[in-house]
Structure 1
Amino acid sequence: MTTGEGTVPDEHEFARSTEPFRRELLAHCYRMLGSLDEAEDLVQETYLRAWRSYGTFEGRSSLRVWLYRIATNACLTALRNRGRRALPSGLGAPADDPDAPPEHGADPDVAWLQPIPDSLVAPQADDPAVIVAARERLRLALIAGLQYLPPRQRAVLLLREVLGFPAAEVAAMLGTTTPAIKSALQRARARLDEAAPERERLSEPTDPYARALLEQYIAGFENADTKALERALRTDAAIEMVGTRTWFSGIATCLRYLAQVSGSPGDWRMTPAIANGQPAAAAYLHDADGTHRAFGLGVLTTTPGGIARITVFGGGPRLLARFGLPPVWEPPLAG
């Protein structure tokens, strides 16, 4: 059978050929968009476009390159006339009064960065170096920094430096010339260095010290123990609450804020997770009847010197469901 776009592909052959690239395409679209929800939609659109055009795919490039071309251009179309997704620390100076009533609710004027579960995009590989490299390409600081780049510069930087495509292939993907790609890459590098000049190397979430910091953070919160939290934080630590413009910097200010929100022992329950290649804590807050219900996710920036940043994403049960977690806290299984 034929259509206006060529022969209708065999469904099983199409799936067998293209499905192995779905996870890495999701990671690519997420890096482009800063939104898991939008990235999933764009991956679906990529596969729909690829299905419709599969009969005309002549193998002049690899199937992987072809799919990345479709996905990248779909993302560029989605990003037209759209502002960047942000974290609170990218919108203004830190607040200096943690004793003031905390800001609640979302800011409708800002599109916020979203976290991504590692489980959705981690490469299915046995090589630890491949896994470490994939995590580094999902760090929150990098995703936030990419948002400062114009969409085409963002695409060039990702395709060239993150994914390692040759300049000539990137030029073909984007319908431009190799010199134009090289020029765009130089501008993207310079702009990213201005937007996020301090991209320090972070501890791996599976590193024993990072796991110990996460455990200390969880225990400190669950027991309302600010001394434990103080031991886990760096002196220059920061806390930001995505969905509001509120964030704090410096351990003294952060601890005053944490002392308020941690409440009393037992108010919070937390479950370890991994998001954006970083250790995270899924948080459950007790309600009036004593049930601990899904609140959100705290993503930790862990370094050899302690926790440098806590990025808190609200989102309740819908967010935690993306991490395979229930809407109501469940105690860990014994043993």
Structure 2
Amino acid sequence: MDAAAQPGYETFEAYRGDLLAHCYRMLGSLDEAEDLVQETLLRAWRAAGRYDPLRASPRTWLHRIATNACLDALEGRARRPLPSGLGPAGDPHAPLRPSLDVPWLQPFPDARLGDPADVAQQRAGLRLALIAALQLLPARQRAALVLREVLQLPAAEVAQVLNSSVASVNSSLQRARTTLRAAGPVLDELRGPADPGEHAVVERYLAAFEAADVPALTRLLADDVALEMPPVALWLSGRDDYRRFIERVYVMRGTGWRLVPVRANGGPALAAYTADGRAHSLQVFTVAGGLVRRCVTFADPAVFGPFGLPPAV
């Protein structure tokens, strides 16, 4: 390839947000995804002289490098779960003990997507329930599904990326879809549109939470709503237990909370600050049918940094 025609680092850098989302889907960790994106861009820059634009677009070529970097990183790694992936729902009055030895799933700030080719598709493939379900798949099945269903690469290109055959890719996809169907309707989140009223629901949730209006907040919850609180392994199921836990929060931490809207994992989220202005947790919502179906509350102020949120207000 003519040196003058070689893509430069700036060309690769334009895909950073796209690659970050891809590596996050594979790993479930924003921290590790950032490291692997940097590794991907360095590998691409060093191999730029071997890049052939007639065989693949820069985006496909970069995703091939990133996927293989992720597969290397996943060897021997434990999956990153949410609490609901570790056991049955618990008691809203149970002790809140963090399980710091668990490599928990991390949230993804939408602002880090940059300008991907298809923003709506990128965001759909970032929903927490889907990311958690992807962690159930063996690494190569996970890669095949992400490349085919999220990035929508043709099966032949996926086979190229994975150094495999189209038949093998299709077999991996079939097994992956079977596993995910057993985990719930998460595949629908790849293509289904978001609830058009989700922002209004979360705005009402914000107002009720700040006002400590438990009845108003409870009316926004689905009957089978789930509340998860990593790094606490406890999770709750059902409107009544959710309500009891919120009542417990106000008893333990008082009222006067301030919530700041952000976007995480392709949907609305709220950063919660206690009455004394300290960062407390990031609440990421799943809304359907005009009701909150799931709230994953990352009870770790360390998650505020990647969202550009201050540690205190």
TM, length-normalised to structure 2: 0.91
Counterpart in 2 of 1:319?
A: 303
Counterpart in 1 of 2:113?
A: 121
Q: Deviations over 1:10-45 (max 9, x none)?
A: 8x9513321222111111101000111111110000
Measured after TM superposition, the shift of residue 123 of structure 1 is 3.5
Counterpart in 2 of 1:131?
A: 119
**Distance (Å, rounded) in 2 between the aligned partners of 1:203 and 1:18:** 30
Quickly say closer, same or farther: Cα 1:284–1:115, change in 2 above 3 A: same
Contact 1:222 1:265 in 2 (8 A): no
- Name the amino acid aligned to 2:60: V
Contact 1:203 1:302 in 2 (8 A): no
Match of 2:50 among 56, 78, 84: 56
Counterpart in 1 of 2:65?
A: 70
Counterpart in 2 of 1:105?
A: 98
Contact 2:133 2:186 in 1 (8 A): no
**Distance (Å, rounded) in 2 between the aligned partners of 1:120 and 1:268:** 27
Contact 1:132 1:204 in 2 (8 A): no
Contact 1:116 1:275 in 2 (8 A): yes
Quickly say closer, same or farther: Cα 1:58–1:124, change in 2 above 3 A: closer
Measured after TM superposition, the shift of residue 168 of structure 1 is 1.7
- Name the amino acid aligned to 1:118: D
The yes-or-no answer on 1:179 pairing with 2:167 is yes
Structure with the bigger RCO (C-alpha within 8 Å, sep 6+) is 2
Q: Could you tell me the percent identity over the aligned residues? A: 48
Measured after TM superposition, the shift of residue 203 of structure 1 is 6.9
**Unmatched 5+ stretches in structure 1:** 1-5, 330-335
- Name the amino acid aligned to 1:135: R
Counterpart in 2 of 1:46?
A: 40
Counterpart in 2 of 1:271?
A: 260
The yes-or-no answer on 1:147 pairing with 2:131 is no
Match of 2:76 among 32, 56, 81: 81
Contact 1:157 1:185 in 2 (8 A): yes
Contact 1:31 1:138 in 2 (8 A): yes
Measured after TM superposition, the shift of residue 265 of structure 1 is 6.2
1:7-26 matches, within 5 Å, as 14-26=8-20
The yes-or-no answer on 1:226 pairing with 2:214 is yes
**Distance (Å, rounded) in 2 between the aligned partners of 1:321 and 1:89:** 25
**Unmatched 5+ stretches in structure 2:** none
TM, length-normalised to structure 1: 0.85
Q: Deviations over 1:195-233 (max 9, x none)?
A: 23466667748x4x3222212222222222111111111
Measured after TM superposition, the shift of residue 62 of structure 1 is 2.2
- Name the amino acid aligned to 1:328: A
**Distance (Å, rounded) in 2 between the aligned partners of 1:58 and 1:305:** 49
